[in-house]
Structure 1
Amino acid sequence: GPDPAGEERRLRALGAEFRRAARGGLLTFHGPGQLLAYPVLDLRRLGLSLRAYVGALEAAALGLCRRLGLPAARARPPPYTGVWLRGRKLCAVGVHCGRHITSHGLALNCCTDLTWFDHIVPCGLEGTGVTSLSEELQRHVTVDEITEPFLDAFEEVFQCTLTSHEESIG
């Protein structure tokens, strides 16, 4: 099977930092050009199961994709999570829940250097490609550009109002 210590050494040799985290899924990549959204929510208060919460995070990312003119984006049935376009993963979802409180969340590739994904098997899924908003829209899409539309989509899905978007970013 895979040799976790060997994997860690290999990735560090490429210049990557390596962190072990208590979240769903196996290996993932976080780097520049990714929108990371790690909501801290009480699922009991929201009346959401963990699976429903993952679905809601996916729905927020899908809402963003619709706003950007990418209606073909889809969530896939379990065991898959995240958002996919033409069989390639655009957005990874990995959450942890302890005492009904969520941590971790989603990572959406905006203008991410996708070659990093060549060095890992993202989320343990062999043979699935990775894509980004920049690649799909054929223009440079920054995290700053999509933060506001993502937060709008999040508010829509979770039926909430984020008091100040600036505070929720910074």
Structure 2
Amino acid sequence: MGLCLVTMPLLKPVIEVVNLGRISYADGLQAQRTFIQRHLNALSQQPTAEPPVNAVLLCEHDPVYTIGIRTARYPIKEEERLKQLGAEFHRSDRGGLITFHGPGQLVCYPILNLAHFRKSVRWYVGELETTVIRLCHRFGIKAETSPDTGVWVQNDKICAIGIHCGRYITSHGLALNCNNDLSWFSHITPCGIEGKGVTSLSQALKREVTVPDAVDLLLETFAKQFDCMLRH
């Protein structure tokens, strides 16, 4: 009598969507740490009442300039100059150089254990870029990658990407310009790239595109790109 083998379909990873609203950069960092710690506790087999959760944190930030770990030192005089514009200034452990976050910009912080997907930081960054490119295409915008990290519309960056990954737990992520005030970028060299500019969904389309207008499309393209299920 022959054996009948039944193959069960592979379950897709489940990612919790957490909409934080408009918050300070410091509060955004703390929210990330909470989810990161749950992953780390599980990896260390520490008893915890809270199981690890793959999550996507969505937010807008109050005006803030941030620098990444590639910036060994940033002149105090420059830091003070930027603060005088009415923005905060933060040093972070993400990759990349200086950038700006502010209202009208959709910030997405995936807190993922890449062991549930693919243990490759290069792959992960590429998936984030492709997610945003596909979102832009849904809006009718031709976007692409370049040798410089991020997503570009010709020579203008529409989405900055800077991540941190420790023990294959990701943090930080992407910042998509929707209808934010781009003049904030004129006070810095965004991401340290000379001779290039910034743009937004609104500027590229010559019509108003708000963060709420972009959220659902971002989540849809993210779910398809990462082959996961989103839980709200």
Aligned to 1:153: 221
1 or 2, which has the higher strand percentage?
2
Query: Is 1:74 the counterpart of 2:135 in the alignment?
Result: no
1:1-170 alignment, distance < 5 Å: 3-70=74-141, 72-77=142-147, 80-164=148-232
Tell me by how many angstroms 1:7 deviates: 1.5
**Unpaired runs of 5+ in structure 1?**
165-170
Aligned length: 161
Tell me by how many angstroms 1:141 deviates: 0.5
Tell me by how many angstroms 1:48 deviates: 3.4
Structure 1 moving runs of 4+ over 3 Å: none
Percent of matched pairs sharing the same residue: 56
Is contact 2:178-2:202 (8 Å) kept? yes
* CA 48–63 in structure 1, closer or farther in 2 if over 3 Å, else same: farther
Bigger radius of gyration among the two: 2
- Indicate the SS of the match to 1:66: helix
Root mean square deviation, CA, Å: 1.4
1 or 2, which has the higher helix percentage?
1
Work out the CA distance in 2 between the residues paired with 1:107 and 1:76: 17
Per-residue deviation, residues 36-81 of structure 1 (Å, max 9, x unmatched):
01000011231231111010001110111111111x200113xx11
